Structure 1
């Protein structure tokens, strides 16, 4: 092998040595690099995220139990007055709880601003609080639904204010504001701050108690429905 050939081979080997790591680096997907960057920028630790998810799930379970308990009490009430009393009790408890949750959010914000609460702990607590507000919203919605079966006289006798119930539902449905709701979604998922009114179907009545619903169907549609019911 002459000197020219040796030099040529040496150049090829050096070029190959440099090219291999460069090719390997270019083969890494940009999404992987972005994911690593995003992971490094996350302000909530895995343990804090897990605590938030558990807190949200507990709030949802407690909300389900509370809603079913309320429905059972209404169903077992022996008179319209007794049903209205159950609604009044539910509303009072829900309103008290909503105030407590709003106070909790205020304290969380103050603690974070003062540096007494880490960002991760703050986000985890916010997610749980928003989930509990969603429970209050569901309770208020159930109470409003129950009032549709009661007359205005009975509601007034038991000091049930339907407008106050709706106001509580809307107040709880705000879930502490858009920024708080966004934090809750980022930690515990998209459903954590979804309003229960989003699940209302067109068939569900929103007619205030004591008022009749207007049937805007034409005669042929009413006849078809009547025939179907008879069959």
Structure 2
């Protein structure tokens, strides 16, 4: 069980080694493309260094989310009994719930610091984008846990303290991305794809449907489609 997990982590670390230079390469073109809409997106208050920090932070959050999701898949697949499978799910859900609570507290602190002027607008947006990206990762992890739980008998789940409704609530809570204003702030600096999985071939039993989109992606895409139809009309 440890060997597949180690191989997965090493592989992702190798990807991460080239991810930061790629982030640096993509920041400049995106910034140039947004020059004409800076007032709409609020990027006129973001320094180049803050934009770069946002790009790197979001990409790291996406990679870490993918590592966690894949590692869960490996642990679940390696579990040999329903009891151990339920224990793996319980650990995943508890860790995800704790991290989501930390991110929600972090967003609240960022909002307070922004209101009091303790941090710049650019730094605020960069940190919010990173937090939102991580929340999307938690949403995918919760969805993967929900799918895995459907394969385990209720008795085994109950013995490990796993509640299907609680998992669904966690998934929905993470999918809210801290609220519409927070999600919009993240998109304004990191784009509509902020937090989207980088997995082209998601782990079986995961939350992705083959195109790397989470449920919050689908909600955002649906809103975009509505807006596009309105503008065409």
When normalised by structure 1's length, the TM-score is: 0.68
Distance in 2 between the 1:95 and 1:40 partners?
A: 32
**Secondary structure of the equivalent of 1:192?**
coil
Q: What does residue 32 of structure 2 align with? A: none
**Larger deviation: 100-109 or 39-48?**
39-48
Q: What does residue 126 of structure 1 align with? A: 128
Aligned residues: 168
2:214 aligns with one of 190, 196, 215? 196
1:150 CA displacement: 0.8
**Secondary structure of the equivalent of 2:45?**
coil
1:179 CA displacement: 0.5
Contact 1:141–1:166 (Cα < 8 Å) also in 2: yes
Q: 5+ unaligned residues in a row in structure 1: which ranges?
A: 1-33, 201-231
Contact 2:58–2:195 (Cα < 8 Å) also in 1: no
1:151 CA displacement: 1.1
Greater C-alpha radius of gyration: 1
Per-residue CA distance 1:2-48 (angstroms, 9 max, x = gap): xxxxxxxxxxxxxxxxxxxxxxxxxxxxxxxx839849971111110
1:111 aligns with one of 110, 113, 121? 113
Contact 1:185–1:193 (Cα < 8 Å) also in 2: no
The answer to whether the aligner puts 1:72 opposite 2:74 as a matched pair is yes
User: 1:96 and 1:41, CA in 2 relative to 1: closer, same or farther beyond 3 A?
Assistant: closer
The answer to whether the aligner puts 1:83 opposite 2:85 as a matched pair is yes
RMSD, aligned CA: 2.3
Per-residue CA distance 1:185-230 (angstroms, 9 max, x = gap): 0100101166712678xxxxxxxxxxxxxxxxxxxxxxxxxxxxxx
Contact 1:59–1:132 (Cα < 8 Å) also in 2: yes
Contact 1:49–1:187 (Cα < 8 Å) also in 2: yes
Q: What does residue 29 of structure 1 align with? A: none
Q: What does residue 223 of structure 2 align with? A: none
Q: 5+ unaligned residues in a row in structure 2: which ranges?
A: 1-34, 197-212, 219-233
